[in-house]
Every structure is written in C-alpha cells, then in structure tokens.
Amino acid sequence: MDDFDLKGKTVYLRVDLNCPIDPETMEISGTKRIEEATETLKALSEAKVVVASHQGRVGNKDYIGMDKHAKVLEKLMNKKVKYVEDVIGEAAQNAIKNLEDGEILLLDNLRLCAEENYEFTLENAAKTIMVTRLSKLFDFCVLDCFPSAHRTHPSIVGFPQVIHSCAGRIVEKEVENLGQIMTVTKAPHVIVLGGSKVPDRLVAIKKLIENGRADHVLLTGLIANVFMRAQARIKSPLGIKREEEVVAKAHALIGEYPDVFATPVDIAIDKDGERVEMDVREMGKGDKIYDLGPKTVEYYSKLIAGAGTVFISGPAGFFEKENFSFGTKELLSSVANSMATTIVSGGHLTTALKQQGLADKINHISTAGGALVRYLAGEKLPMIESLEQAAVRFKAE
C-alpha cells in the first residue's frame, strides 16, 4: 500500500468480516476480524473506500446481511460508515459513485451475488458480472482478506486481473510473519485441530501430513467427533452435513496414517446446563460433546510439550460457555508455555488467548482458519497468486 498514492481514489477494499454469529440472539459474538480491518481503513483515510466482505455461507444460520458489521465498524472507526443493502445492483453502484473523499461505504454480503458462491479460475473470475460491472467504478483494489486467501471467488481473485491492486496491512503482516516462521520451523510438528468446516479440514490434514508438517494431529471439536465415529467409538450418527462421506474420509486417513491421529479419551457433555464428564465409551444416544475431559487435555498437553512447532486452530469445545471452556483454555495455556514455535489460528482462539493474557507468548496469531492451514501445508494461496500477477503486470506497464 505504501507504494501507491491512493488519496482521492475510489478504492475497492476486500476484507474478511466473516464473524461468529450467536444463533440465539443473531448478534455478532466476536468482532476480532472487524477490529483488524480498521488498520488498513485508517491508512486509506483520504480515499473513497468501498469495503466488501462475505458473512457465513448460503443456507447456514450465520448467513446474514452486513448491517450489524457496519455499526461495529462505525464505532471502531469513530466515523460514519455508509451501508447499502446491495452488492452489484443500481443501489450499490449509485452509492459508490456518490462517495466523497474520506468516506467509507460497506456493501452487503458478497455472497448475495450468486457468482461469489463458486470457485473460478483467475482468468474466468475477471469475466464475472460482479467484476466487469464494479471494476469500472474503482481506481484501485486492496486485498486484505487473508482468512479467505484460499478461495478463488470473483471478489478476491477477479479484480486484481483488471485493476491495479496491492495487499492491505493484514495480508502484509501475515505473509511477512509466516514467511519468517516457516524458515525456522522445527519438528516434531504438532497440529491441534478443531473447527466446524469438516470437509475443508480433511483436505488440509492430508496435505499437512504429506508435506511433513504434521507428525501428530490432536483432534478436538466436531472433527474429533467425525474421527471417533470413524473409529466406531461414537455409536450414534452425529447428524452433520455429508456425514457418511466425511466419516469415510476420516476412516481412510486413519488407515493410511495410523500413528498420526490422537482423539479424545474423555469428554464433557451438557446435562441440563451442567457439565458432566465421562469416558467416550460411556456416552449415551443423543449426548452432545461440549468439551474435552481432563485426561484428554493431559494427554494432548504432553504431546504439545514435546513439540518443535505447534499449530492450533479452532476451539476445543463450546468455549463461550464458562462450563465448557476448560479444554480450550488449558490447551492454549499448554501451547503458550511450550518451548515450540507457536501459531494460533482462528477468531475464537485469538479472542480466548487475549482473555487469558497469553497473546505475548505466541509467535504468530491469526484470525484466519482454513487459509492459514492451507498456507502451512505448503499450498500457494490464490489470493497471493493473483496479487503477485498484478504486481508483475503493474511493473511491465
């Protein structure tokens, strides 16, 4: 960003404001990613800035509009944030055209535009209606959506093909820090993996193992349940999307890499609001796992203590409820107190780490989840690839 004079320019800023949404209140329950976005926005204070992001996935409960995000952003920036309930239509286009220097406009959820729900080649992303229509209104594109860097959606990889583009502050920081860390990583590599996007996680696990980045994979959260189901240690169906397919994949991974995976031995369930701990074998039909038990935490913590590099992603349980935050807190504390190079990933864990006052003890903290896993697995991220191509083109012009 420092290489360009963006004063007075209409700048398209793609950030990742995809936040956890409390399913009961439908309010944003963690604003970490919105807080992060303010740094680049402040650096663009003399431009006309059009902020764009997705929120949730179509069909999921967290798929909502961006009006709440606009309010949070307004508070954090301490200035008016205009908001338009549109992405590529006339209302959005007029709002963009009417922006004055120093103003900020937030578009609605990008995934309201059907194209944004599909992966494209970089070349085809540039030909989408979203990019052809909106790029005419922008002078410049700043990509600062590191948590979505593994996606080839038009809003991410399309614009850099047609307008001058650069990375924002978050992307700059992530790439610099991770580049340094990756040059000194030491084995054994211990991955502590939770999170709810199971199909994505399964792909990433395989890549991490194949690329020598995962000597031990300690499973938590929903992905642990999938593996325990594959081991036939959980008897009843989990009731999740594409269950048969993901369980079969987990089964195949265990068969292929029998010494890599660790799954919980004991867990905690919710019984009428109370925490009840038990061995996994004692679980009854309908019992929902809300946290790890103490034996599992002890076992995982020993493996963490012997690690050269630890990467932890996704909470170990329903950590927002005090009763069920034990596993997440204890594992984070084991990671923070280990001698290893440490990377903590995902908005939930970033928040938990700050709450515990442990942030200073971690080598790299990122609000990214899936993108970071893929980066650590050695994948070239499409967002970075498209920025690199844009830089080459810019220099050639």
Contact residues toward ligand 3PG (CB under 6 A) are 16, 18, 57, 147-148, 151, 197, 369-370
CA torsion sign for 14, 19, 24, 25 is negative
Query: Least CB distance from residue 55 to ligand 3PG, whole Å?
Result: 8
Strand 266-271 with 289-292, pairing: antiparallel
Report the interhelical angle of 67-77 vs 32-43 (nearest 10°).
Answer: 60
Query: Least CB distance from residue 169 to ligand 3PG, whole Å?
Result: 18
Residue type at 93? Q
Query: Least CB distance from residue 190 to ligand 3PG, whole Å?
Result: 22
CA torsion sign for 289, 293, 299, 302 is positive
Can you tell me the distance from the alpha carbon of 126 to that of 67, in angstroms, rounded to the nearest whole number?
27
Query: Least CB distance from residue 18 to ligand 3PG, whole Å?
Result: 4
Comparing CB distances to ligand 3PG, the nearer of 156 and 262 is 156
CB count within 10 Å of CB 74 equals: 16
Query: Least CB distance from residue 367 to ligand 3PG, whole Å?
Result: 8
Query: Least CB distance from residue 233 to ligand 3PG, whole Å?
Result: 28
Query: Least CB distance from residue 369 to ligand 3PG, whole Å?
Result: 4
Give me 71's structure tokens.
């309010």
Comparing CB distances to ligand 3PG, the nearer of 16 and 36 is 16
Q: Is 298 exposed, middle or buried (0-12, 13-18, 19+ CB in 10 A)?
A: middle
CB count within 10 Å of CB 39 equals: 14
Query: Least CB distance from residue 19 to ligand 3PG, whole Å?
Result: 9
Comparing CB distances to ligand 3PG, the nearer of 300 and 311 is 311
Comparing CB distances to ligand 3PG, the nearer of 18 and 309 is 18
3-state secondary structure of 99: coil
Return the closest-CA partner of residue 385 out of 125, 9, 55, 205.
125
Return the closest-CA partner of residue 337 out of 375, 318, 315, 310.
310
Can you tell me the distance from the alpha carbon of 386 to that of 388, in angstroms, rounded to the nearest whole number?
5
Query: Least CB distance from residue 237 to ligand 3PG, whole Å?
Result: 24
CB-nearest residue to ligand 3PG: 18
Comparing CB distances to ligand 3PG, the nearer of 155 and 309 is 155
Comparing CB distances to ligand 3PG, the nearer of 151 and 216 is 151
Comparing CB distances to ligand 3PG, the nearer of 147 and 293 is 147
3-state secondary structure of 183: helix
Comparing CB distances to ligand 3PG, the nearer of 317 and 370 is 370
Report the interhelical angle of 198-210 vs 221-230 (nearest 10°).
Answer: 80
Q: Is 242 exposed, middle or buried (0-12, 13-18, 19+ CB in 10 A)?
A: exposed
- DSSP class of residue 271 equals E
Q: Which residues pair with 191 in a beta bridge?
A: 217, 311
3-state secondary structure of 264: coil
Comparing CB distances to ligand 3PG, the nearer of 298 and 320 is 320
